[in-house]
Amino acid sequence: MKKAATKQGSLKEAAIVMSALAFGWLAIELAFKPWLDKARSTLNNSDPDHDPDEDDVVLPDTNSDDQKRS
């Protein structure tokens, strides 16, 4: 009898945990909906071949004063 009660208690506990996780996910989705929609649309419109890290690269100046003096 104890074994059946323990199994039933474990299933009930698992159901409560899953419900709490689903509720938490839903709450986060609703709380951050405007920001998440904007981020998702930006990702959908982005160019997958473009690497934004390449935009930040500073190229050395090839016409520096040292080269002009030589």
Domain count, the chain: 1
The pTM is what?
0.49
CB atoms within 10 A of CB 70: 4
Q: Among 5-9, 26-30, 59-63, whose mean pLDDT is lowest?
A: 59-63
Higher pLDDT, 47 or 58: 47
Alpha-carbon separation of residue 15 from 11, 41, 44, 66 (angstroms) = 6, 34, 35, 72
Q: What does the pLDDT look like over 22-54, one tens digit per residue?
A: 999 999 999 999 998 898 888 888 777 777 677
Range of the domain at 37: 1-44
Residue 68 lies in a domain: no
Residue 60 lies in a domain: no
Residue 36 lies in a domain: yes
Q: Which of 6-15, 16-25, 60-69 reaches the highest mean pLDDT?
A: 16-25
Residue 8 lies in a domain: yes
